Amino acid sequence: MSQSFEFYDARAREAADEASKATLDNVRDRNLRAEKTWRGLADQAQRVADDRQRAERERAERRAAEALES
């Protein structure tokens, strides 16, 4: 099951919020690492979604061009 940008972004924001509230260094560091990981996953999910949209647009343009040639 693929997750959405929104899911990963929400987890990153939650981790950042927890890091800002942490009083212990190791807890803050753990949450900052988690935020970085979630942010990377969010960025990757966004790139995948963008690539899918671009590919679909290109396929639609190609189909339209082929229909005009016929």
Tally of structural domains, the chain: 1
pLDDT of 70 reads: 77
Q: For residue 39, which of 2, 64, 7 has the smallest C-alpha distance?
A: 7
The token pair that represents 54 in the structure block: 């671009």
Distances (CA, A) of 27 to 14, 31, 33, 63: 14, 6, 10, 54
16: Cα separation from own chain's centroid: 16
pTM (2 d.p.): 0.80
What distance in Å separates the CA atoms of residue 26 and residue 47, rounded to the nearest whole number? 32
Q: Residue 12 belongs to what domain range?
A: 5-69
Residue 25's pLDDT is what? 98
Q: What confidence score (pLDDT) does residue 2 get? A: 65
User: Six-digit token pair at 21?
Assistant: 């509230």
Q: Which residues of the chain have pLDDT under 50?
A: 1
